[in-house]
Amino acid sequence: MSFTSMGEAHRRIADFLNRFSEAVSTQDGASLKSLLSVSSNSSLLLSLADDLNLYQDWSRLVKQAERNSHTLGEILVPHLRCVQSYRSGRFVEAYAAFEKSANAFLQEFRNWETAWAVEAMHVVAHEIRILAELADKELASLGKNPEKLQGAGSFLMKVFGSLAGKGPKRVGALYVTCQLFKAYFKLGTVHLCRSVIRSIETAKFFDFEEFPSSDKVTYMYYTGRLEVYNENFVAADQKLTYALMHCNSRHEANLRMILKYLIPVKLSIGILPKMSLLDKFHLTEYTNIVKALKQGDLRLLRRALQEHEDQFLRTGVYLVLEKLELQVYQRLVKKIYIFQKQKDPSKAHQIKLDVIVKALKWLEIDMDVDEVECMMAILIYKNLMKGYFAHKSKVVVLSKQEPFPKLNGKPVSS
């Protein structure tokens, strides 16, 4: 840290205040943005924090500056305090101060007719979430109840309310929605997303295509994830695919995040990715699963699931992947069918249960006749196999036409 003098500090603080009030008075959203982004660690704000520490009496300066623009003091005083606290790593304080400042800012923002400050509002929305997360971390480390993110969530709802209207600010609503999603997903309270989604998707003044594409991608990503939770694969596929197609291809991390969910969804509707795709995005946890699906190797699937169980559970795709087992069975029976067909086409459509049991034994999967019979019945029941099972003779009798219908983008019927 340089040895700034009091005078220097004083000058720079005053400078910051001037810039702030000027940005507001000239409605310069871009420069206002940079003054608000506390967590950006910009050199401007970092040095400002040092100056504030040096020049303790800065609130007097704010008061002076307030003469010109009366209401800004309510924003600036807590904002500067936040900058100060953030700099010294006291995030709980920083969050509290920022929340005050943000509320005051929102108050002002409501009065601004045009959308010039929407981006600045976005910065506020983003900052408050980031700061809340940091504050929660700090609280948790102190053994206290981390509740700031929840508070940030309710602030964001207020912001959403101020944007969701017919005015020009409505294009900013989706960004805030995405911030809300992030907070809710982190909190594990995804059910709260529903009300926001409903207003986005049903309100007449929202034209989805009108929103910035980055927001659209984020929105689709999160709503797609929600559909995965609900095991609503068709909708999930559609949303995640949208996100993938519109995501900037340079943002590989984002693409990877989308693929993490899209791949299991696609698998469960019978569409397998190329191995090269998995390699490209380092999604190797799916490699063996795809292989298992291709080979009908039940053991491989189970192993892969076990190996990455924690990860899959965390991302929430475990249950989806678990259901792929039926498709593996299908593939296995199909392979047997193909072998039989090569041997004796006339009897290929009759598969003895013993054969399947034996095949499973080779895979070191110990299932007795009853259980395998049950699985065959389920395959037929779920329309993964056409035919019937003759109980007395313990034979699967396959239909002669297309005995193994493909899913073709449809989920396994439940």
Partner 1 sequence: MLPSSSIWSAASSSNHSVEEGSQGHAPVITGHYSWPASAGQVAVSWNYGANNGPLENATSSSSGDHYDPLRDSTGSEGAHFPTNSMSQTSASSNLSATNGNPAYAGYAQYPNSTYSYGYGNMQYQSNYYSPQQANYTSYQQAGASQNSGASYQPHSSFQNTGSYATPTSYSGTYFASDHQTAAGCPTSGYVNQTNYWNDGSGGGYPLQYANYPSSDTNSAPSTSNTTTNSYSYQPECNQWPINYGTSVSNVNCTPGPGSMVSSTVPTATYPTQSANGSYSYASSQPPPPGTTSWRGDLGLPNLPSSQAQNAVACYPSSSWEEKAPTVQNYNLNQIPSDLQKPLDLKLPLFENHDANGKTTCSYDPTSSLQVFPSGQVSQIPQQPLQAISAMDASRVSKMQIPTNPRISSSLAVGVPKVDKEGSTTNTATKPAYLSVQVPKLNNQLSSSDDTDAVVKGAFPPSVRSYAERCFSRCKDDSQRDANKIILSEIIAKAKDDSSLWTKNWDMEPLFPLPNSNSNAADRNILRSTVLSTPKFPGRRTKSRWEPVAEERMDIKVAQVNPDSTKNVSWAERLAGGRIHENEWNSMKLPLPQPPPLNKTPQRPLKKSRFSDISNITENGNSSSESDKEQELTKHYSSAIALENSPEEKKRREHRSKRFENGQERRTDGKQFKPRAAGVGNILRKASAMLLAKSYDDQCSRAVEDINWNALTVKGTSQEVEKRYLRLTSAPDPATVRPEEILEKALYMVQTSQKNYLYKCDQLKSIRQDLTVQRIQNELTVKVYETHGRLALEAGDLPEFNQCQSQLKRLYAEGIKGCQMEFSAYSLLCVILHSNNKRDLLSSINSLSNAAKQDEAVKHALAVHSAVSAGNYVLFFRLYKAAPSLITCLMDLHVEKMRFEAIKCMSKSYRPTISVSYIAHVLGFSTLAQTGFDGENGANGHEDCEEWLRAHGAVLIVENNAELQLDAKASSSTLYMPEPEDAVAHGDSNLAVDDFFTRAS
Instruction: Please give the residue ranges that form the binding site for partner 1 (CB under 8 A).
Output: 188, 190, 229-231, 310, 313-314, 316, 318-319, 322-323, 325-326, 370-371, 373-382, 388-392, 397
Comparing CA positions, the residue from 277, 325, 281 lying closest to residue 303 is: 325
Given the complex with partner 1, which of 34 and 315 has the nearer CB atom? 315
| β-strand partners of 351 | 396
Backbone angles phi, psi at 71, to 5 degrees: -80, -10
DSSP E strands, 345-394:
350-352, 387-390
Cβ 321 to partner 1 shortest distance, Å: 11
d(CA 316, CA 228): 8
Tell me how far apart the alpha carbons of residues 19 and 351 are, in angstroms, rounded to a whole number. Answer: 80
CB of 130 to partner 1, least distance (A): 25
- The CA distances from residue 195 to 142, 161, 225, in Å, are 33, 12, 16
Q: How far is the CB of 73 from partner 1 (least distance, A)?
A: 24
Nearer to partner 1, 112 or 388 (CB): 388
**The residue to which tokens 């700031």 are assigned:** 148
Least Å from the CB of residue 145 to partner 1? 13
> Token pair for residue 175?
């960004």
User: What CA–CA distance (Å, rounded) separates 170 from 164?
Assistant: 5
Q: How far is the CB of 350 from partner 1 (least distance, A)?
A: 13
Nearer to partner 1, 346 or 413 (CB): 413
As separate numbers, helices (DSSP H) first and strands (DSSP E) second, the chain gives 21, 3
C-beta closer to partner 1: residue 121 or 356: 356
Whose Cβ is closer to partner 1: residue 346's or residue 414's? Answer: 414
CB of 184 to partner 1, least distance (A): 12
CB-wise, 113 or 310, nearer to partner 1? 310
